[in-house]
Amino acid sequence: MKIKAVSPLIATIILIALTVALGAIIVGWARNYVSSEVSNLGAQVQILQVVYNNSNGNIAILVQNIGSTQLVGYNLLVEFSSINGKREKCPLVSSSNDTKYLACYIYNITDSSSTTSLINGTIPQNSLFLINMTVNKDSFGISSLTGSTIYIYYSKNQISEGYTLS
């Protein structure tokens, strides 16, 4: 019985094809990763003031876009870190039907000088805006918001210093 092997020419072609395919996969992943990181370049905000209501968990955050780029409203998140160490990223939720199971959520982003919604709009450089959110204290196992810290995120990246509620 004679065993036939793959010719060196065919083996070389197969190896080159596998290398090109693997390279294409890596380039595709890297392109998506880099584009998401570059889109956050220059995004930075400063939390100026926070007003909160301990009875219902509502929080109003006055923020200034101090970065070198405008922000897209629906890409903003607020991370709430309670005094017992539990952390949760609070998403933007446009329908009240989706809120009953969430530990926290953003229900509005507006221009600070008017009631114009910025949820589907852009937030220019150096402008002030309000983020309105609600925290379900039971989900965090706390009785008061005092001592908790909030951070602002743009997509996946933190763009603010922490602000502790006092």
Residue 35: predicted pLDDT: 64
pLDDT in tens, 17-56: 999 999 999 988 888 776 656 556 788 999 999 999 999 9
Residue 42: predicted pLDDT: 84
Of 61, 67, 40, 65, the residue nearest 127 (C-alpha): 65
pLDDT in tens, 131-152: 999 999 999 999 999 999 999 9
CATH topology for 45-164? Immunoglobulin-like (2.60.40)
Instruction: Give the helix ranges, DSSP H, for 40-154.
Output: 137-140
